[in-house]
Amino acid sequence: METRVAVIAIILRDSSAAVELNALLHEFDRYIIGRMGVPYRQKHVNIINIAIDAPPDDINRLAGKIGRLEGVSTKTVYAPAESN
């Protein structure tokens, strides 16, 4: 199965969504390369970046589930596809 490398950028405005977000990340943990979280207290947001190597359908599924959480915004950026 072909995989792609991507970064999912997450802005968490409602900290009550953190439990649901972490549950989703745990569900897809086999694909996660790494994660970085930065609390930006002055603006009351948490900035989270997830580096992932997974089949594109799974990346889209995870990003879609995250984007449906209340108080959460997300964008996904894919690395260029490998050329043979």
Number of domains in the chain: 1
Task: At 68, give phi and psi (nearest 5°).
Answer: -85, -5
What is the CB neighbour count within 10 angstroms for residue 6?
A: 21
- CB hemisphere CA count around 20 (13 angstroms): 14
State the residue range of the domain holding 60.
4-78
User: Whose CA is closest to 58, among 38, 80, 78?
Assistant: 78
Average pLDDT of 77-82? 88
Q: Provide the CATH number for the domain around residue 58.
A: 3.30.70.1150
Residue 40, domain member (yes or no): yes
Kindly report the average pLDDT of the chain as a whole number: 94
Residue 83, domain member (yes or no): no
Residue 47, domain member (yes or no): yes
pLDDT value of residue 14 = 83
Residue 84, domain member (yes or no): no
The pTM for the full model equals 0.90
Residue 35, domain member (yes or no): yes
Residue 28, domain member (yes or no): yes
